[in-house]
Amino acid sequence: MGKLTNALKKAAETRMERIEKINSIKERSSIIIKKMGDSQIDPRIVTYFDPKALVSEQYKIMRTNVLSINKGKPFKVCIITSSIHMEGKTLSALNLAVTLAQTVKKPKVLVIDADMRRGRVERYLGVKQPVGLSEVLRGQGDPADALFKIDLENLTFMTSGAVPENPVELLDSENMAKFLAEMKMQFDHIIIDTPPIISVTDAGILGSQTDGAVFIIQAGRTQRGIVSRATELLHQAHTKILGYVLTNVEYHLPEYIYRYL
């Protein structure tokens, strides 16, 4: 019995050592994210101000559709892109992120502004953030310095940072791959706002590293041929299209006209 007791005791000690080691690794890999106390969020992020509004319900439908594409295995990382500028991709990304964060399971959600030419996340959130994605990829800042929250505890943001000379090379770098791998360990869902695919190749570069793209189209503005060309470019970049979102659509209800997405 003595040998058996000693064996069980040794096994228990080994198990405890493994648990302590795992916890130690988790602690080292965890990033402390600062909270921005003085934000002036754009009212068009309606899911933040009024989760029960009719507009918010449309974003919840968008959330449901994106999450149900791969049943049993929701997306981990997706990009939000469009054909051309000013189609509503950044607002769609932010509203989708808020609805994801509001679900019952409270997943950890990260929004990355990867439009390093014309980033808008900082402006829409009404914050000033000196360190963003470009600084992290150039080795001029750590993710811990760039990540921040507002007042949704499970929703985190990273701005685009200062405009670099070589955004394409930065997004296609080993630093970007390592950064994404690190963020995947920290968050349940990552939404990356990218430039329009017609203008530059950034969306294609990032799309191939993710689960796919949500494609934003503005009703009454974006021509069908442009959308077809943009779709072709994403396919050439081996980017899966998770779905299309039509923005700037009006629908009528008694006494009101509602504009959604």
For residues 14 and 113, membership in a common domain is answered with no
| 85 contacts: CB under 8 Å, gap ≥ 6 | 118, 196, 199
* DSSP states of 151-205: S-TTEEEE---SPPS-HHHHHTSHHHHHHHHHHHHH-SEEEEE---TTT-SHHHH
pLDDT digits (tens, 9 = 90+) for 187-201: 999 999 999 999 899
Average pLDDT of the segment spanning 244-259: 63
Residue 261 is which amino acid? Answer: L
Return mean pLDDT, the chain.
Answer: 85
* Domain, as residue range, for 21: 1-30
Residue 75 DSSP code: -
For residues 249 and 224, membership in a common domain is answered with yes
H-helix or E-strand spanning residue 226: helix 224-236
For residues 144 and 39, membership in a common domain is answered with yes
For residues 13 and 67, membership in a common domain is answered with no
pLDDT digits (tens, 9 = 90+) for 48-101: 999 998 889 999 999 999 988 877 788 899 999 999 988 899 999 999 999 999
Q: 113, 133 in Cβ contact below 8 A? A: yes
For residues 25 and 50, membership in a common domain is answered with no
H-helix or E-strand spanning residue 35: strand 34-35
**What pairing do the DSSP bridges indicate for beta strands 213-218 and 189-193?**
unpaired
Q: Report the CATH number that the domain containing residue 190 is assigned in CATH.
A: 3.40.50.300
For residues 122 and 189, membership in a common domain is answered with yes
Rounded to two decimals, what is the model's pTM?
A: 0.82
For residues 8 and 102, membership in a common domain is answered with no
Does the pLDDT of residue 256 top 50, yes or no? no
For residues 26 and 152, membership in a common domain is answered with no
For residues 128 and 178, membership in a common domain is answered with yes
At 13, the pLDDT band (50, 70, 90 cuts) reads: low
For residues 16 and 128, membership in a common domain is answered with no
For residues 145 and 88, membership in a common domain is answered with yes
Q: 216, 247 in Cβ contact below 8 A? A: yes
Average pLDDT of the segment spanning 105-111: 96
**259 bridge partner residues:** 250
For residues 15 and 63, membership in a common domain is answered with no
Structural domains of the chain, count: 2
pLDDT digits (tens, 9 = 90+) for 43-62: 999 999 999 988 899 999 99
